[in-house]
Amino acid sequence: MALTFDTITNNLNDTKLKLIIKKIFDNQRLSFHEGLYLYLHAGLPLLGTLAHFIKGKRHGKKVSFIKNIHLEVTNRCINKCAFCSFRSQSEHDVYELSVEDIFNIVDHHASRGINEIHIVGGIDPEKGLDFWMPVIQKMKVLYPAIHIKAFTAAELDFIFKKSDVSIDDGLRLLKKSGLDSIPGGGAEIFVETIRQKLFPDKISSQRWLEIHQKAHLADIPSNATMLYGHIETIQDRVTHMEVLRDLQDSTKGFNAFIPLKFKNKGNALKNVNESPLYEDLKVFAMARIFLDNIPHIKAYWPMLGKENAMMTTNFGADDIDGTINNTTQIYARAGAADSKPQMNPSEMKCLIESYRGIAIERDALYKKI
């Protein structure tokens, strides 16, 4: 049975909620206050129905994935973020890949046909453009078909300052070396009081947004994340999404929005309870409803776990990221279910199809392969 405004609002007495739902059916954008009202007053079934309806219009039953790896070059980091379980605590638990290690890893996976390399790591005081430009350049020369998605805005800020270049010049140099896009990390939550409390060393919201804006203007697309489920409020989540929606209106450079569920193992926030699944599903549903100008909502399965990531595809998500090939430790260290996350493409297809989705293998820019 087709979903209509009447069927969905039949037993609803809340007039304000009805007006908001009407706007959704009429393809109209929700204001901040309407988004917040919807988030606070609609239950999970209603939010899920609306989000799934919008996702269906945009993507049908398609759920995409990519063959990719992560390259986490070092856990040395000068920032001390309370939510982080990855950063080395002392010289004894530091690891650092050499340039040779980096190319051994990439070579191993390139021969198995990956389409994307996602490079991130701690804010390493030793590495500026003089280290990274030749590495990216060589990677591009050796593997021209592989998309290089590298460096969170927090890393870029440090690399550019260390190398004494402006954001524009730094981005231009990295793009010329072979950088194709920028991942969404470091956004956390765009509320300065929370940033000061939990990760005071990290770049401000404004700086994160400036770097992504300049990247988009330089034709470097990016993603955006939101770290949720720690001390932020529902209002903070809607604020975060509104800030991204505003920037996207002007640049159109964000490919995907990725809600990242806070995991509490092995970090300074271990006493903060993790959000329950129904709250996770609400976050994904609200992202799909509110972010009307960001095409993809990604459920990053190494963080959520396979089954929960798949569940979000009924609540607005249309992408579950990649095969990963056991190349990330950030989330396992924070308590994610898979300590060695990896799936081969047939496993990814089977998983998606077991949730009645149509599995689509994609490239790094979300084109079907």
Q: Which tokens hold the place of 106?
A: 């990439």
Nearest-approach distance from CB 185 to ligand V47, in angstroms: 3
Pick between residue 38 and residue 154 the one whose CB is nearest to ligand V47.
Answer: 154
Length of the chain, in residues: 369
Pick between residue 23 and residue 345 the one whose CB is nearest to ligand V47.
Answer: 345
Pick between residue 37 and residue 228 the one whose CB is nearest to ligand V47.
Answer: 228
Name the H helices within the chain: 5-9, 15-25, 32-41, 44-59, 99-110, 129-142, 153-162, 167-177, 192-198, 205-217, 234-251, 277-290, 301-304, 306-312, 330-333, 345-354
What are the phi and psi torsion angles at 24 (to 5°)? -65, -45
Pick between residue 140 and residue 265 the one whose CB is nearest to ligand V47.
Answer: 265
Nearest to 205 by CA among 246, 144, 164, 249: 246
Any idea what DSSP says for residue 30?
A: P
Number of H helices, E strands in the chain: 16, 9
Transcribe 176-190 into DSSP letters.
Answer: HHT--BB--TT---S
Nearest-approach distance from CB 122 to ligand V47, in angstroms: 11
Any idea what DSSP says for residue 59?
A: H
Nearest-approach distance from CB 220 to ligand V47, in angstroms: 13
Pick between residue 84 and residue 211 the one whose CB is nearest to ligand V47.
Answer: 84
Pick between residue 129 and residue 153 the one whose CB is nearest to ligand V47.
Answer: 153
Q: Which residue is nearest to ligand V47 (CB)?
A: 185
Residues 145/111, Cβ–Cβ less than 8 Å: no
Nearest-approach distance from CB 82 to ligand V47, in angstroms: 9
Neighbours of 15 (CB within 10 A): 9
Nearest-approach distance from CB 37 to ligand V47, in angstroms: 27
Nearest-approach distance from CB 38 to ligand V47, in angstroms: 25
**CA–CA separation, 187 and 357 (whole Å):** 30
Nearest-approach distance from CB 74 to ligand V47, in angstroms: 14
Nearest-approach distance from CB 215 to ligand V47, in angstroms: 12
Nearest-approach distance from CB 340 to ligand V47, in angstroms: 16
Pick between residue 20 and residue 299 the one whose CB is nearest to ligand V47.
Answer: 299
Pick between residue 83 and residue 315 the one whose CB is nearest to ligand V47.
Answer: 83
Residues 140/111, Cβ–Cβ less than 8 Å: no
Pick between residue 9 and residue 223 the one whose CB is nearest to ligand V47.
Answer: 223
How large is the angle between the packed helices 44-59 and 277-290, nearest 10 degrees? Answer: 50
Contacts to ligand V47 by CB under 6 A: 83-85, 152, 183-186, 188, 223, 225, 227, 258, 260, 262-263, 267, 300, 321, 330, 334
What are the phi and psi torsion angles at 34 (to 5°)? -70, -40
Q: Which tokens hold the place of 155?
A: 């890393």
